Chain A
Amino acid sequence: MSAELYYKSASELSGLLDRKEISSVELTQSVIDRTKAVDDLVQAFNSFDEEDALAQAEESDARRKRGESLGSLDGIPVGIKDVLAVKDQPLTCSSKILADFISPYDATCIQKLKRSGAVLWGRLNMDEFAMGSSTENSATKVTGNPWKLDCIPGGSSGGSAAAVSAGEAIVSLGSDTGGSIRQPASHCGIVGLKPTYGRVSRYGLAAFASSLDQVGPMGRTVWDTAALLESISGHDPNDSTSYRIDVPDYVQAIEQLKGRKWTFGLPKEYFENAEDTASMGPVKEAIEFYKSLGCEIKEVSLPHTAYAVATYYIVATAEASSNLARYDGIRYTHRAESFDAKDSVDIYCQSRAEGFGNEVKRRVLLGTYVLSSGYYDAYYLKAQKTRTLIRRDFEEVFKDVDALLTPTAPSPAFKRGAHSGDPLSMYLSDIYTISANLAGIPGLSVPCGYVDGLPVGLQILGKPFKEDEILAMGNEFESAHNFKHEHPGL
């Protein structure tokens, strides 16, 4: 056994736990010690509750002792993005407005994780309300990329990606509205999956853009990511947009689909004029790898690609302005001390002015504008129609190919502050991930190489509800390479 416990995969750890070679308490303690040793540098955690984690680990050990293990995640520490409700734990969304909020209930995915025996570990930093691509919009702290600490970890699930990459969690949960799982996974050299819209319940996920948001798994291996996806998926009566569709055994599917000769599409709009794009080198090598397996590679077209970012920033901000109206300083959020008592709405205006950061204000303002009287048809309705065109582009190409191969992000992690003065240039860094949310399809990012010492991810976009296929495709690549054993030098 070469690696430290905290750098082993959940699949290996679950075997060690089953054979009683280690206990969950030992494993959890190793993750806690690692976190204490490196999180001053990485700053992935908004908070963590050591005692609570060890108590969960003890329960897991007791279950195993009785021969009642709940499965492969029983006793495995899972980091949680600070956007998901865990009963009696803080839920801040990395926002001042929720600084003191304690969840009164469990999100459905958290309930499911508890039922699979996982050790819920910490609250991971993120862009405020998941709005951002660098985790720089957090009101709590600035998370570093474990591979180069002065670079961003990606976002919005930057804490979830950095923690897994640095060995501060074995796997983690993130959420993805426009790339917020896949892009940080790519930047931190780990695996991240955005499920099909409706695969995972959104109940207990603090809403950003309800028609785009999905909770999803992040891990250091495809197998771990598959096991975590399986445990959180499925229909939930508390989220009527979650689909009534069977959840496959993803881990088994990876094995069953091994060796299949897939047909992959390369969207020409993603590759043309992208020769100079930093991430292209490793991505092209990955494409060659699939060719060498005997898979067919075809050029395909997604003609409305150029309109995706504009469409997204209307739909997402409109939905956000409506969702974030609940943070009013009255029922459960920060209330301003001073306001004009003669003006009945000033208490809201002042509380929100104090509680929201710049990016959140910017997006709520934009969303309010595009929904306001006289502009609705020109912006929101127009974007919903463009969304139809983008969705149809994918339906068309999936008649000919099983999945699409693309870079996850145009470049590896950039330096902190590189885009801070120019929100639009930050938005454009999501160009390869955003369309999957608009079309509702699943997407996987797997590590495929390095540029200047920073990891680069390959994105595999699949057909709706075919997470099993993209996981199997990612696994083929991962098994033939050594990336899952490479860790940042912290």
Chain B
Amino acid sequence: MADASHIDIDKVAELARIALTDEEKAKFSSQLESILGYIDKLNELDTTDVEPTAHPHSVENVWREDRATSELPTSEALKNAPKQRQNMFVVPKVVE
């Protein structure tokens, strides 16, 4: 397993899209390292020929008709938007 003592907190925070203060970075990286240290015990197990479990019970593919159904009306779907105008989400300008 990867060496947990070298967690790159800046990179992880960027991937997670969470801005962290310097204080949070120090706190979270030490806590995550201790958790990852504990998690390392999984290395004791040989899982070479074990199938991974993504779902606890055996499931078959689920099919349905490809038919449009009544979804939320636009006005309802936008009701919780932080900013909206003319049936659209308002977002900051990102291109010049």
Which residue from chain A places its CB closest to the CB of B16 in the assembled complex? A368
One digit per residue, 1 when the CB lies within 8 angstroms of any chain A CB and 0 when it does not, for chain B 1-32 equals: 11000010101111111111000100010011
With A332-B81, A387-B53, A389-B47 as contacts: A366 and B89 at CB distance below 8 Å: no
Q: What is the interface of chain A mostly: helix, strand, loop, or mixed? A: helix
CB pair B93–A331 under 8 Å, yes or no, is no
Which residue from chain A places its CB closest to the CB of B61 in the assembled complex? A240
Interfacial chain B residues near A391, Cβ < 8 Å: 53, 56
A388 at the interface (CB under 8 A from B): yes
CB pair B17–A307 under 8 Å, yes or no, is no
A388 to B57, CA, bound (A): 11
With A352-B19, A388-B50 as contacts: A375 and B56 at CB distance below 8 Å: no
A141 to B72, CA, bound (A): 32
A344 to B32, CA, bound (A): 28
Interfacial chain A residues near B41, Cβ < 8 Å: 306-307, 310
With A100-B80, A346-B19, A365-B13 as contacts: A381 and B52 at CB distance below 8 Å: yes
Of the candidates A196, A241, A333, A353, which one forms a contact with B55 in the assembled complex, judged by CB atoms under 8 Å apart? A241
Interfacial chain B residues near A189, Cβ < 8 Å: none
CB pair B32–A365 under 8 Å, yes or no, is yes
Query: What is the size, in residues, of chain B's interface with A at 8 Å between Cβ atoms?
Result: 52
Q: Which of A318-375 contact B (CB under 8 A)?
A: 321, 325, 328-335, 339, 341, 344-350, 352-353, 356, 361-362, 364-366, 368-369, 372, 374-375
3 closest Cβ pairs, A-B complex: A440-B56, A384-B52, A335-B82
Interface residues in chain A, defined as those with a beta carbon under 8 Å from any beta carbon in chain B: 100-102, 104-105, 196-198, 211, 237, 240-241, 243, 304, 306-307, 309-311, 313-314, 321, 325, 328-335, 339, 341, 344-350, 352-353, 356, 361-362, 364-366, 368-369, 372, 374-375, 378-379, 381-389, 391, 423-424, 427, 438-441, 464
- 15 A-B pairs with CB atoms under 8 Å apart are A100-B80, A304-B45, A307-B41, A310-B41, A330-B82, A339-B92, A341-B92, A341-B93, A353-B19, A353-B20, A381-B52, A385-B51, A385-B52, A385-B53, A387-B53
14 additional A-B residue pairs with CB within 8 Å, beyond A330-B91, A352-B18, A386-B47:
A310-B39, A314-B39, A331-B80, A347-B91, A348-B17, A349-B13, A361-B28, A364-B16, A364-B18, A368-B16, A385-B51, A388-B51, A423-B35, A440-B56
